[in-house]
Amino acid sequence: MESSRCGGAFRGISRQIHTSGLTQKGNMKETRKPRADDKFCGISRLTLFLLALSLAFIGKTMTGAYLNSMYTQIEKQFNIPASLVGIINGSFEIGNLLLIAFVSYFGGKFHRPKVIALGCTVFAFGCLLTSFPHFLFGRYHIESSVSPQENSSVVPLCHVNQSLFSLPTEEPSTECEKEPGSLLWIFVMVGNLIRGMGETPIVPLGISYLEDFAKTENSPFYQGCLHTATVIGPFLGFLLASFCAKLFVDLETVDAGELTITPTDVRWVGAWWLGILICGLVNFLAGLPFWFLPRSLVKEGEPDESETCKKEGVLLEENEQKETKQTMYEIAKDFFPFLKALLRNPVYMLFIVISVLQFSAFIGMISFMPKYLEQQFGKSASDAIFLIGVYNIPIICLGYFFGGLFMKKFKINTYQAAHIACWVTFLDYLLYFIAFWTICDTSPVAGLTVSYEGIDQLSYAENTLLADCNRDCNCTLKVWDPVCANNGITYVSSCLAGCKASTGTGKSVVFENCTCVAASEFPFQNASAVLGQCDKGKNCDKMLQYFLILQLVGSFIFSLAAMPGFMVLIRSLKPEEKSFGVGVHELAARVFAGIPSPIFFGALIDTTCMKWGTKSCGGEGACRIYDIVKYRWIYLGLPALLRGMSFIPGLITLFILKKQLTSERNVSSNAPVELQDKGQ
């Protein structure tokens, strides 16, 4: 019965759309703008728009979280440095930059739901293009110093007085840059750029549409629902990324039993392309409902039964007809006056400065957090992504929801909202510094973090990988193929460990007669080693729990301040400036935070690399191990500096808002006196 009513309603709407032109010409009095409260299948039109927009928010944030989690996999797949990964990440913001200001301004003049629908479709195409390189790349080459023949039987691995015919060349080949697949990361970058262009209309046009047709008291709650959607999306993205990271990148061609590495190995590459295709499908489906939503509505809660309302409806309809006939010049003539008004709005401009500093810190941290958990605490990419999602996303969702509910219940004004946002954020900032004490001991790696005798040292030079115990083995210094010895020390390769023999095959291979293990501070009579790095130890697991709990508490506190802060932005703008103002705010965040932040974070993180991997052609690949102490100070210290600077414009904003509030109170208190004087 419900489906038949819905079908009848849909056919009625279709007939109304088909005959709208004749109705307007024949009888203008019967023309009525759709109301926000009108029901469609038992749901109001504005609620339908809110649900569709929430799904679009979930789709776009799900994709963003998924890709941010998978950049380390892309880095290893294409053997590129973290700084180049930062450029790929920033290409999404560049795509946004190309269109955000114009879409925010011009999009509001046209059919906003249809513009959003088009954006979702373009977004989905960008996802498809991003995954395309996987199907062109061929089979992923796992960097290894052991040839398949050596891995099949007991043969010498320490090649004393033998040639290195089976090992990668020490010097990069001139043909390295021409190697098939070496530039396929460009597809990922272009796909990201197109994805950024597609996302452009969703936020400014969606929020302005809600603001235009929602009750004032309902607006914070609706915004809270959207913010909740922006948290559900990343949660789903992190779960999807965790699942895909466990699957080997060539899952369709490689049998898991053939692999000699595990997901905890830094050379492991997950099936990053699979989740991108799923995200593209979700975003395509999210855009479909917007094609069928009306261009505008009668504001929520406003009656339209009186003759006055009917006349207003006719006038509004005529105005819309005039708008559709406007030339681009007539639409654009107010662009610069609008921009000038925004630039002269001190609260708005200060809020942009705060957002840029806060977003720079947040984007840099979230982009490289999976890598940080991998390197600092020894977790696999899959486990790191899962822990980030579970410990951060649900609690942020609660913070957004309760922040919006608090704003609605107590009817907080702009000055009070700014106070809440400032001091709650400052509390989270103070708690943030505890993270500097959640440290993990540096993994002992012979020749890099400890000497071959087991004494602590730190070296970025390759020559320290050689010692008396392996100097005659003719080992390559370029390859990263770690083995864990029974003395608890990791060696860069079985050759550099001085291993003379191996038994077993696949993951169960054991290297024996390792001279460097026998020569260490803790010698073993049967000096042997197995594939992979040594585990970090139980202390790291405990520190990881402290770090994650601190993240949970900090995320909740920070998210409580998000809604009051956003309402300061919205309420600092006039009604006609909201769509354009939100768009310019997004533009500034993209240009000054989204693009440069991952690039300079990645470049600084590259400076902490102690051992670079090697491409099959001999060129330098992705980083395999970092100086975790230096990495920690950069990763945690840079956001602390950026966030600390953001409180300066925050305090200035409070001062300006207090001054504005005082002046408004003075005007309102003087108004009755002036009326009495006029009456006398």
Same domain, 361 and 392: yes
Residue 619 placed within a domain:
yes
pLDDT (tens digit per residue) in 606-620 = 999 988 877 766 667
Report the Cα 146 to chain-centroid distance in Å. 37
Neighbouring CB atoms inside 10 A of 428's CB total 18
Same domain, 454 and 509: yes
- Rounded CA gap, 313 and 321, in Å? 12
Residue 315 placed within a domain:
no
Same domain, 113 and 229: yes
Q: What are phi and psi of 350, to 5 degrees?
A: -65, -35
Same domain, 433 and 448: no
pLDDT at 182: 63
Q: Per DSSP, what are the bridge partners of residue 270?
A: 248
Residue 186 placed within a domain:
yes
Do residues 112 and 617 lie in contact, with contact meaning Cβ atoms separated by under 8 Å?
no
pLDDT at 130: 92
Instruction: Give Dmax over CA atoms of the chain in angstroms.
Output: 113
CATH of residue 246: 1.20.1250.20
pLDDT at 548: 92
pLDDT at 316: 47
Report the Cα 196 to chain-centroid distance in Å. 12
Position 182, amino acid: S
Do residues 202 and 57 lie in contact, with contact meaning Cβ atoms separated by under 8 Å?
yes
Same domain, 550 and 658: yes
Same domain, 121 and 217: yes
Select from 613, 446, 433 the least CA-distant residue to 518: 446
Same domain, 294 and 269: yes
Do residues 144 and 479 lie in contact, with contact meaning Cβ atoms separated by under 8 Å?
yes
pLDDT at 43: 63
Residue 509 placed within a domain:
yes
Copy the structure tokens of residue 161: 């007085």
Same domain, 281 and 404: no
Distance of CA 666 to CAs 125, 345, 416, 652, 659, Å? 55, 21, 18, 21, 11
Same domain, 432 and 498: no
pLDDT along the chain (680 residues), means of 10: 43 43 43 56 72 90 90 87 88 83 70 87 93 83 58 50 46 51 82 91 82 71 78 89 90 74 84 93 90 71 52 49 53 73 90 93 89 88 88 83 79 84 92 90 87 82 84 82 87 86 78 80 69 82 91 90 86 80 82 88 91 71 87 94 94 89 74 52
Same domain, 560 and 501: no
pTM of full prediction above 0.85: no
- Rounded CA gap, 621 and 616, in Å? 9
Which of helix, strand or coil describes residue 111? coil
pLDDT (tens digit per residue) in 349-392 = 999 999 999 999 998 998 889 889 988 888 888 888 899 888 88
Residue 16 placed within a domain:
no
Phi-psi map region of 661: left, alpha, beta (phi>0 left; psi -120 to 50 alpha): alpha
Q: Which residue among 486, 501, 535 closes a domain?
A: 535
Number of folded domains that form the chain: 3
Do residues 184 and 538 lie in contact, with contact meaning Cβ atoms separated by under 8 Å?
no
- Rounded CA gap, 230 and 73, in Å? 24
Same domain, 503 and 396: no
Q: Which domain holds residue 547?
A: 343-439+537-666
Residue 310 placed within a domain:
no
Residue 5 placed within a domain:
no
- Rounded CA gap, 25 and 15, in Å? 16
Select from 239, 196, 141, 296 the least CA-distant residue to 595: 196
pLDDT at 375: 87
